[in-house]
Amino acid sequence: MRMQALYKLATDVRSRVTAAVEQRHNGYSTFRSDRVEDRKMTGKWHTAHKHAWVYVSVATMLSACAFTPPWDSTPPPPTTIGTRAPGGAASNGVPAGFYRVNPGDTLQSIAGAFGQRAQDIAVWNGMSPGTPVAVGQVLRVAPPSLTPGATAVPTPGAPQPPSTAAAQSGVLAWPLRGPVLKTFVPGKTNGIVIGGRVGETVRAAAAGRVVYAGTGIPAYGPLVIIKHSDSLITAYGQNSKLLVQEGEAVTQGQPIGEVGQDSNGVGSIQFEVRQDGRPADPLAWLPR
- One DSSP character per residue, 167-194 reads P-TTSSPPSS-S-EEE---TTT-SSEEE
Confidence of residue 195 (pLDDT cuts 50, 70, 90): very high
Instruction: Pick the range with the lowest mean pLDDT from 136-140, 149-153, 267-271.
Output: 149-153
- Residue 219: pLDDT above 50? yes
- More confident of the two residues 93 and 277: 277
User: Average of pLDDT values for 204-211?
Assistant: 92
Q: What is the pLDDT of residue 16?
A: 57
For residue 46, is pLDDT > 90? no
DSSP bridge partners of 180: 194
**Taking residues 221-247, what's their average pLDDT?**
93
Chain CA centroid to CA 220, Å: 9
**Higher per-residue confidence, 72 vs 255:** 255
Residue 253 pLDDT grade (very low, low, confident, very high; cuts 50, 70, 90) = very high
When pLDDT is averaged across residues 156-175 and rounded to a whole number, the result is 59
CATH class of 71-151: alpha beta
Q: What is the Cβ-side half-sphere exposure of residue 69, based on CA atoms within 13 angstroms? A: 15
The answer on pLDDT for 162 being more than 70 is no
To the nearest 10 degrees (0 to 180), the angle between helices 2-31 and 35-67 is 180
C-alpha 148/C-alpha 114 separation (Å) is: 11
Look at 106-115, 131-140, 279-288 and tell me which has the smallest mean pLDDT. 106-115
Q: How far, in Å, CA of 163 to CA of 241, rounded?
A: 30
Q: Which of 136, 146, 74, 161 is nearest to 111 (CA)?
A: 74
How far is it, in rounded angstroms, from Cα 125 to Cα 193?
42
User: What is residue 4's predicted lDDT score, i.e. its pLDDT?
Assistant: 52
The answer to whether 234 and 270 have CB atoms below 8 angstroms apart is no
The predicted pLDDT at position 126 comes to 76
Q: Is the predicted pLDDT of residue 68 greater than 50, yes or no?
A: no
- Rounded to two decimals, the pTM is 0.47
CATH level 3 topology of 180-284: Glucose Permease (Domain IIA) (2.70.70)
Query: Could you give the count of Cα atoms lying within 13 Å of 167 in the half-sphere of its Cβ?
Result: 19
Share of the chain above pLDDT 70, in %: 57
Q: Considering only 90-99, 111-120, 180-189, which range has the smallest mean pLDDT?
A: 90-99
